[in-house]
Structure 1
């Protein structure tokens, strides 16, 4: 169930992250999307991951150990919906230049972590999760 003031909380979460630089295990696309999920519904899909890796290899190793894959980790917490039915606050997985990543859908655009902080990205969702 979504928080009563989820739209304000999500907007504040995105705004606060716009100048935060990328850092594996401290601020990467999955942790940002998880922060947004907390703002929307109070569920933290990254609770088991926070502070437990510092590199891409470490993230992949932990992901494989705990859930098997990136999509399985998100499946554990949220239901999938067809990409055509994405709504504000939902999380999308996409194929990016560096592999799979996740983004949050807000204000008609996808937001994810870039090298310089959170920003709008081009995204063709492979999988979408309804965050509620």
Structure 2
């Protein structure tokens, strides 16, 4: 039953984000991860951060919650940290980003793939092999 729920959450996330163009506060990696967590029945982890529409706004939202980066924000949710190779559908993964100030969050979707935003700004498929960290969503 749990795997079925995970697959459904991963598919819903794919349906909502695949091929979307990156937009701060609307279609970004934090919203992607938050969407998957909500699909699994968790409270929306982004509510405390409020809205933002720019990179500076995202930084301010993190600082407002006492978080220096997205890794700290995910860790604060109390999710179990796992090896990326153990990620199941709908688990949250961290991927390297073009900008050293950020880490890109993605959602494991199975078969060694991740849904994440590419450096070109499109939400697309990536390889789980590129993940540097992962968290068990449920």
TM-score scaled by length of structure 1:
0.82
The reply to whether residue 111 of structure 1 matches residue 110 of structure 2 is no
Write the deviation string for residues 2-51 of structure 1: whole angstroms up to 9, x where unpaired.
6973422330221232243221011111101110111123332212224x
* Other-structure match for 2:71: 71
- For 2:29, the equivalent position in structure 1 comes to 29
Q: 1:84 to 1:17 in 2, by over 3 A?
A: closer
> Which aligned segments of 4 or more residues in structure 1 are displaced greater than 4 angstroms?
114-117
CA RMSD of aligned residues (A): 2.3
Partner of 1:88 in structure 2?
89
| Contact 1:37–1:89, Cα closer than 8 Å, also in 2 | yes
Q: Which runs of 5+ in 1 are unaligned?
A: none
1:17 equivalent to 2:48? Answer no
CA distance in 1, matches of 2:56, 2:116: 20
Tell me, which stretches of 5 or more residues in structure 2 are unaligned? Answer: none
Number of residues of Structure 1 aligned to a counterpart in Structure 2: 130
Q: Flag the 1:9–1:90 CA change in 2: closer, same or farther, 3 A.
A: closer
What residue is the counterpart of 1:129 in the other structure? 135
